[in-house]
Chain A
């Protein structure tokens, strides 16, 4: 089986499971479909020889963020009957947001069709390995890397502050 064929199969599976996230009526099942989608995306990364990204995607998204999602949903005990009613404003804003995203995706797709002709799928075979990624992050992309870490610290401080405030209310 060629690489192209594997990527087509993986891509359609990813899209199918991503669609199931939206179509599934049950919030817990939606989360599980989302986890499956992340696994397929990880498989895509491995296909592109970006093993580090694949595993980090698995650890961070499938392993940590989605567990928290599931955790919250379990406590909320949502089911079909309790689904919130959608009002007109909600539908309009969802349409605008979704349409904008769709536009951006179409632009990106058009660009790949226009400029991406000559590219093979793996341009630099070793680009995704840890050594090369680390060297790039700490030389060429040092500033954005450090800025993103400041973002993380800001988020952490925010979380600590929120937790502290809650405690004062209880007292």
Chain B
């Protein structure tokens, strides 16, 4: 491996890390402002102009709170829990192609940390282990509400993972590749997958909300029933990490949805540009799509009431999974017909 590549990848990793955290921090501000706007309030406006420094104030507050570990908690697992959540939230960004190649210092720099040929499976792998943070933290707290939250989280995530995987398979079938980079390239020229797979997108979006534990599927932390759910016993920055990991995953999953269904960094009329201008415009287009998805996810949170747990299971197993399977079979038949295999 040459040194240049090592340097460019390291810089990219550090940049991504900082951007993910920064975006997550400002998502909390954006969410509070949006909630205020929807509920006809002002929202945070004390720290800085328009309350723009609010996330920093929140962060400082989180760090200064007393860090408390319950006496009967499993100490190590209690500490590891939020760490696992944060780790799984951050690591997915390594396979996301953020834009077309950038040309700097005479080097062609790919804006993707690792171009895995099975990128989409990597995303699902990380999603499937993402539940450990919540489960371990909830169990280690030695609190019945935390345990309920942990159990709800695990059954919810296992149930919705199936429909999510099956709906994403149709995208793999259309583009013929598991690599996220190839999936994005196959959607070049307004050939976005949303036009071919609206049902798959709908299912994927709903299951993403459930995997993120976002309203209307935020039953693992459901404050009206379970106090704080899995993070009832957490305080200080450990709680902060749990909340942060939710926002980071929201950012990453908005990016994944944009890649799979909305053409990733592709934008209309991108053939007119080339080189670094194209790279910067593609990053901007991708960022805009991510922003729109985050906005929709927040909009849903402040509009739709929470599901009941049996309704959630019913929706997952009896509606979304059959719909995803039918969608997959129809896609397969259409592809087979077009290719002349039938």
Contacts and interface: CB of A to CB of B under 8 A. Distances in A.
B158 A64 contact: yes
B77 interface: yes
B139 interface: yes
Q: Looking at chain A's contact residues, is the secondary structure mostly helix, strand, loop, or mixed? A: helix
Of B117, B128, B136, most buried by chain A (CB within 10 Å of CB) is: B128
B124 interface: yes
A74 B135 contact: yes
B237 interface: no
Contact of B154 (A28, A29, A67, A129): A67
B128 A71 contact: no
Interface in B119-170: 121-122, 124-125, 127-129, 131-132, 135-136, 139, 147, 150-151, 154-155, 157-158, 161
B126 to A, nearest CB: 9
Contacts of B135: 67, 70-71, 74
A74 B151 contact: yes
Given A52-B118, A71-B151, A74-B147, A58 B136 contact: no
Interface string A39-70: 00000000000011001101100111001101
A105 interface: no
The interface size bin for chain A is 20 to 34
A118 to B, nearest CB: 29
Given A51-B118, A75-B151, A130-B178, A28 B139 contact: yes
A127 interface: no
B116 interface: yes
Contact of B125 (A63, A74, A75, A129): A63
Contacts of A130: 117-118, 178
Q: Looking at chain B's contact residues, is the secondary structure mostly helix, strand, loop, or mixed? A: helix
Nearest to B155: A71
Contacts of A20: none
Given A74-B135, A74-B147, A52 B121 contact: yes
A35 interface: yes
Contact of B139 (A56, A58, A74): A74
A29 B78 CA distance: 12
Given A28-B139, A55-B122, A74-B139, A129 B147 contact: no
A32 B178 CA distance: 29
Given A28-B139, A51-B116, A75-B151, A63 B121 contact: no
Contact of B124 (A29, A35, A59, A71): A59
Contacts, number: 63
Contacts of B150: 74
Contacts of B116: 51
A71 B118 contact: no
Interface in A53-104: 55-56, 58-59, 62-64, 67-68, 70-71, 74-75
B180 to A, nearest CB: 13
B154 A70 contact: yes
A63 B139 CA distance: 17
A27 B100 CA distance: 48
Nearest to A39: B129
A63 B147 CA distance: 19
A54 to B, nearest CB: 9
Contacts of A64: 128, 158, 161
A102 B222 CA distance: 49
B129 A58 contact: yes
A63 B178 CA distance: 19
B118 A35 contact: no
A58 B121 CA distance: 10
Given A63-B161, A71-B155, 15 more contacts: A28-B77, A29-B77, A32-B136, A35-B132, A55-B122, A59-B125, A62-B129, A63-B125, A63-B127, A63-B131, A64-B128, A68-B158, A70-B154, A74-B147, A74-B151
6 contacts: A29-B77, A35-B132, A55-B121, A55-B124, A62-B128, A63-B129
Interface of A: 28-29, 32, 35, 51-52, 55-56, 58-59, 62-64, 67-68, 70-71, 74-75, 129-130
